[in-house]
Chains A and B, each alone.
Chain A
Amino acid sequence: MNSFMAVFKRELKSYFTTPLAYVFLVIFLFFSGYLTFKQGFYEMRQADMSAFFMNLPLLFVFMVPSTAMRLWAEERKVGSIELLFTLPITITQAVLGKFFAAWLFLTIALGLTFPMVITVCYLGEPDVGLIITGYVGSILMAGGFLAIGCFFSALSKNQVISFVLSVVACAVLVFAGMPTTLNYASTFLPIGMVSAIESMSFQTHFESIQRGVLKFGDLSYFVLLIVGWIAACSIILDERKAR
């Protein structure tokens, strides 16, 4: 537990001692705001945040892998992994410590979009429950993307490679649930297969949470996704840490 906290603390601090955190936050906040208003936030004439949440998956496809790519790739490249794993730390503790630090960082980034909430509250009377579930869904989705990014970061020493691979993996999982993909798939696949593809996608579960209902199915989707990719990350690291 203590080793976990030590890794967690160090990792979180390292975001803010390098320019990484600030560059990330500025770009993330700019685009999350820009896309919301470009999507027609005012034209919708609705005091809700659907225009904001709608764009998050697309934004996350690029932004989350960019935070995740350095987690292990950098550690392996610099060689500090040799220091880390000759300290009394288990691989699981180290992986979880880094994962939760990055997740908290992304949660902070999401938290800093609070001016959107204030804007909506100022303009009308939004459904607060809907905003809260929207954020819960976003945080869970960030965690899912991050777990995937973590895995690919452990896979390669090269940060660019791990970035590209995790962007592709995340994009596949997002676009699998888009109506266009599903319509196309339904022209030649049986209906069961199409719904299987649909239920594997981030998009489907994220939208379902956004509607304001926290269903067990959606929650377990994200939890399983995170646990699965994190476990895969630990196994890969154990195999490859010294290479």
Chain B
Amino acid sequence: MIEVKELRRNFGPVVAVDGISFSVERGEVLGLLGPNGAGKTTAMRILACFLKPDGGTATVCGYDILKDPINVCRSLGYLAENVPAYNEMTVGGFLNFICDVREIRGKDRKQALDRIVPMCSIDSVYHQTIETLSKGYKRRVGLAQALIHDPDVLILDEPTDGLDPNQKHEVRKLIGKMAKDKCIVISTHILEEVEAVCSRTIIIARGRILVDSTPKKLKEEHQCSLDAVFRRITRTKSA
């Protein structure tokens, strides 16, 4: 459902993404791993049509990110790294705005809200303004925003960052539950998360793909924990 071909993007002299290609199918949860500044966020932003690539292209659900960005945005849910939202709005007002933009109306809207609000456990803060929320609640509102239209493709940039252990567990359970009929890409630094939710993992550093494998296979090949594998791969190959 996601097809990435030779994606490339520079910021001035800095090469953020240097010709990466991969594809993700329905039912897969792909974990993008990599040290800081590896190009994970840039790659995700390009897929979400926020950044334009300098070279290469990608398709999401068959729509090209360069030729048909509107349909790409329609079919994917995107949670950005710093969870942007309109701080002066209430959670309810914000979700209604998202419904307005995504053209979810009337009965569908009520259904969508009834489904998403308990799912992300934001019932208790529904009438609060977003600026008063804690980091964890903000992220859950962001997650609700990304899931409200029940998209086929989900792109989540560090979805559990800033959550407490219980919430982390909840979000992982949520991702696991959705995994079988969606196509999900997450980025993370937390390696136990990869083991817990990802069916496949790509390790990138300096904008290049170093490994494309499954967490299980990686552990078997290297005969050690994922932590050690990660260190070994990113240190030796990028040094």
Residues of chain A at the chain B interface (Cβ within 8 Å): 2-3, 5-7, 9-10, 13-14, 17-18, 78-83, 85-90, 241-242
Contacts and interface: CB of A to CB of B under 8 A. Distances in A.
Contact of A87 (B88, B93, B101): B101
Contacts of A2: 100-101, 103
Greatest chain B CB density within 10 A among A78, A85, A88 is at: A88
A90 B49 CA distance: 11
Contact of B49 (A78, A83, A86): A86
A36 B195 CA distance: 72
Contact of B80 (A14, A82, A89): A82
11 contacts: A3-B101, A9-B97, A14-B89, A18-B88, A82-B80, A82-B82, A82-B84, A83-B145, A86-B48, A87-B73, A88-B73
Contacts of A7: 101
A17 B92 CA distance: 14
B85 interface: yes
Given A9-B100, A86-B48, 7 more contacts: A7-B101, A14-B89, A79-B80, A81-B84, A82-B80, A241-B50, A242-B51
B87 A86 contact: no
A86 B74 contact: no
Interface string B49-73: 1110000000000000000001101
A108 B198 CA distance: 53
Given A2-B101, A2-B103, A87-B98, A80 B84 contact: yes
A241 to B, nearest CB: 7
B102 A83 contact: no
Contacts of B51: 242
B73 A86 contact: yes
B206 interface: no
A14 B88 contact: yes
Contact of A86 (B50, B86, B93, B100): B50
A87 B74 CA distance: 7
A17 B82 contact: no
Contact of A85 (B50, B100, B145): B50
B86 A10 contact: yes
Contacts of A5: 100
Contacts of A85: 49-50
A88 B102 contact: yes
B88 A242 contact: no
Contacts of B93: 13
Nearest to B82: A79
A89 B73 CA distance: 8
A188 to B, nearest CB: 44
Contacts of B140: none
Contacts of B48: 86
A83 B83 CA distance: 8
A242 B45 contact: yes
B78 A86 contact: yes
B88 A83 contact: no
A88 B101 contact: yes
A89 B71 CA distance: 10
A80 B100 contact: no
B45 A88 contact: no
Contacts of B70: 88-90
Contacts of A18: 88
A16 B57 CA distance: 42
A141 B166 CA distance: 56
B86 A14 contact: yes
A79 B86 CA distance: 9
Contacts of A10: 86, 89, 97, 100
Given A85-B49, A86-B49, A78 B101 contact: no
A127 B71 CA distance: 54
Contact of A83 (B80, B100, B103): B80
